[in-house]
Amino acid sequence: MSHTTRILLAKIGLDGHDRGVKVLARSFREAGFEVIYTGLWQTCEATMFAAMQEDVDLVGVSLLSAAHMTVVPELMKHRKVLGVESIPVLLGGIIPEKDHEAVREMGVAAVFNPGSSVNDIITTVREIAAANHEPKCEELTGGYEERDPVALARLITHIQRGRSLDGWSPPKGKATVVGITGAPGVGKSSFIGKLGEELRTRDLKVAVIAVDPTSPITGGALLGDRLRMMHGKPGADFFIRSMASADVQGGLGPRCRDIINLVNGFGFDIILVETVGAGQADVTIREIADNVVLLVMPESGDSIQFSKAGIMEIATHFVLNKCDLDGADATHAQMISALGDQRPIHRVSTVNGEGIPAVADWLAGTKT
């Protein structure tokens, strides 16, 4: 194939552990795939909705609760309603041999039992993905102009893979573009998930572009940001798209500006761009965002650290995340000492819901 295969892995139902699917996620990443993992307890609707927005080549569903004869028809129903019947669905878990033919007749492309080898699974996935049809550019641009979210998702893929738009360009949008950056583990994805929900209560249309690192060894990527953003019933006005950084430096991914312009022209009010876990010199986000929010956490530095050049300089707003932890007051005081009062510092706890409304109020104010 001429592009990196994208696969979404979902754990549907009430199974209490996801050890097996995590092993598969790592194996696919090591095989050079881009893997979107959505976590435990997903619904059929949320799974296919995520697959639509991510425009994956395949969906892999893990089931251990013997619910396949109920889950598969529900999956296929949502796949049809969303207009993504071209995305193959693979099924893994405890699926009795006598039911294999039945689920294939429902539309499942392949079935894997616990004894299936990882190498056989990867080989089969590659073969199925290679048979996928790529839509023509004019089909996608026509659908985009009719505000079809499937066309938006597929156009993003089209751009990511370096395909030509044949002279077409999206209309100019009016979105506020906000970069969300910070060190690995500071809580960017959870913060964005809560902030997006809060913005939606203000009737704002929100899009998220979330970038995760590509392996320099295998070329694969585990795109896990969406895992912390999928809450409640999915909706068209909260668009989430994961992308890999590839060989781009500075915290973003390939053609990120073009993708933001595409999403902006679709009519979103706020676009949140999450960078790769950032270091001091990862400042490229300032070139494409109207505002840059830098997340820090308690005991992540002192006043000298907060005074250094680089990522601290480019932030227009700061979020002291995880402020429910010990050391938050001291870190806040050190930030004020180093930064002064010219740039706002928001204290936030995504666990307790503290501070999110204030950040949403600020962003909503940019649209008035």
**Can you give 188-234 as a three-state secondary structure string?**
HHHHHHHHHHHHHCCCCCEEEEEEECCCCCCCCEEECHHHHCCCCCC
Give the SS3 label for residue 242.
Answer: strand
Question: Which residues, including other chains, have CB under 8 Å from residue 229's CB and lie 6 or more apart?
Answer: 189, 192, 193, 196, 208, 210, 240
Find where tokens 């893994």 sit.
Answer: 92
Q: What is the phi/psi pair of residue 9, to 5°?
A: -110, 130
Topology agreement, domain 6-130 and domain 176-365: yes
Fold of 176-365: Rossmann fold (3.40.50)
| pLDDT for the residue numbered 228 | 81
Span of 103-117, 234-248, 294-308 with lowest mean pLDDT: 294-308
In the structure, how many helices (H) and strands (E) does the chain have?
13, 13
**Mean pLDDT for the chain overall:** 92
| pLDDT for the residue numbered 260 | 97
Most confident of 10-19, 276-285, 325-334: 325-334
pLDDT tens per residue, range 33-78: 999 999 888 899 999 999 999 999 999 999 877 789 999 999 999 9
| pLDDT for the residue numbered 40 | 82
pLDDT tens per residue, range 168-187: 999 999 999 999 999 999 99
Which uninterrupted H or E stretch holds 177?
Answer: strand 176-182
**Can you give 55-119 as a three-state secondary structure string?**
CCCEEEEEECCCCHHHHHHHHHHHHHHCCCCCCCEEEEECCCHHHHHHHHHHCEEEEECCCCCHH
| pLDDT for the residue numbered 104 | 96
| pLDDT for the residue numbered 1 | 43
Displacement of CA 164 from its chain's centroid (Å):
24
User: Measured between alpha carbons, how far is 87 from 66 in angstroms, rounded to an integer?
Assistant: 23
Q: Which amino acid is at 36?
A: I
When computed from its CA atoms, the radius of gyration of the chain, rounded to whole angstroms, is: 21
Per domain, the residue ranges of the chain are 6-130, 176-365
User: Measured between alpha carbons, how far is 142 from 194 in angstroms, rounded to an integer?
Assistant: 33
Question: Which residues, including other chains, have CB under 8 Å from residue 3's CB and lie 6 or more apart?
Answer: 161
| pLDDT for the residue numbered 16 | 66
Question: Based on the number of CB atoms within 10 Å of its own CB, is 303 exposed (0-12), middle (13-18) or buried (19 or more)?
Answer: middle
* Token pair listed for 336: 């004020």
State if pTM tops 0.85: yes
Give 48's Cβ-side CA count (13 Å radius): 22
pLDDT tens per residue, range 120-161: 999 999 999 999 988 999 999 999 999 999 999 999 999 999
For residue 73, how many other CB atoms are within 10 A of its CB?
A: 13
Which uninterrupted H or E stretch holds 80?
Answer: helix 68-81
User: Measured between alpha carbons, how far is 268 from 260 in angstroms, rounded to an integer?
Assistant: 10
Looking at the chain, how many residues does it have? 368
- State mean pLDDT over 96-119: 94
DSSP state of 99: G
Q: Which amino acid is at 352?
A: N
Q: Could you name the CATH architecture of 6-130? A: 3-Layer(aba) Sandwich (3.40)
Whole-number percent of the chain with pLDDT over 70 = 97
Predicted confidence (pLDDT) at residue 333 exceeds the cutoff of 70: yes
Predicted confidence (pLDDT) at residue 2 exceeds the cutoff of 70: no
Displacement of CA 311 from its chain's centroid (Å):
23
pLDDT tens per residue, range 182-216: 999 999 999 999 999 999 999 999 999 999 999 99
Predicted confidence (pLDDT) at residue 224 exceeds the cutoff of 50: yes
Question: What would the DSSP string read from start to end of 251-297?
Answer: S--TTHHHHHHHHHHTT-SEEEEEPSSP-TT--GGGGT-SEEEEEE-
| pLDDT for the residue numbered 302 | 65
Give the SS3 label for residue 238.
Answer: strand
Predicted confidence (pLDDT) at residue 365 exceeds the cutoff of 80: yes
pLDDT tens per residue, range 299-329: 887 666 777 768 889 999 999 999 999 999 9
Q: Are 108 and 72 in contact (CB under 8 A)?
A: yes
Predicted confidence (pLDDT) at residue 281 exceeds the cutoff of 90: no
